[in-house]
Amino acid sequence: MDKLLLRSAILEKVSAELDNLTRAALLARDEATHEESKPENQYDMHAQEAAYLAEGQARLVKDLQETLSLYQTLPLNPWAPGAPVGIGAVVTLEAGKRRSYYFLGPRSGGIDVECEGREVTVVTPASPVGRQLLGATIGSTVTLPGRTGPVPHRISAVD
């Protein structure tokens, strides 16, 4: 799998989320500073609530900006045969005839992106799946939740 295409898909998705959050943060800031938000009495908390919302939105925007920077500078070297899975690896898992693809990224776990006709899920080392993948090698088994309980998956490829 072409990791440059995968990174582009991840950056596109995170950028779209950043755009949405930036707009939301600006709207929250405008509401917090608007003339109509001034308290009418000592019990009116609307302005304070709007300020808290604006502050939280601004923090989320900063986090996503850092995420974009991490992905833009993430080295995407080919994986050496036999090397353990680490940040930047694309892992193929097989359970029977079913294949699933995971990218072990530094942040933004849980997003799904389309790359070369495959759906790839981004996981981080902090996630349950990411913890199992980190340090594993081809042939190792990880357990993922299934409809009827845990399902073992074999690592068939690491790119």
pLDDT digits (tens, 9 = 90+) for 107-146: 989 999 999 999 999 999 999 999 999 999 999 999 998 8
Q: Residue 41 has what DSSP assignment? A: S
Q: Looking at the predicted structure, is the pLDDT value of residue 155 above 80?
A: yes
Contact 111, 56 (CB under 8 A): no
Taking only the tens place, the pLDDT of each residue in 38-50 is 666 665 566 677 7
Look at residue 68 and give its three-state secondary structure. helix
For the chain, give the percent of residues with pLDDT over 70.
90
Tokens in use for 26? Answer: 């600006």
14-23, 38-47, 98-107: the lowest-pLDDT one: 38-47
Average pLDDT of the chain is: 89
| pLDDT computed for residue 15 by the predictor | 95
Domain ranges for the chain, please list them: 3-73, 90-158
| pLDDT computed for residue 38 by the predictor | 65
Residue 147's pLDDT band (cuts 50, 70, 90): confident
Q: What is the CATH code for 90-158?
A: 3.10.50.30
Choose among 138, 91, 104, 100: nearest CA to 118.
Answer: 100
pTM score, whole prediction: 0.84
Q: Looking at the predicted structure, is the pLDDT value of residue 18 above 70?
A: yes
- Distances in Å between the alpha carbon of 130 and those of 12, 17, 44, 80? 22, 22, 46, 19
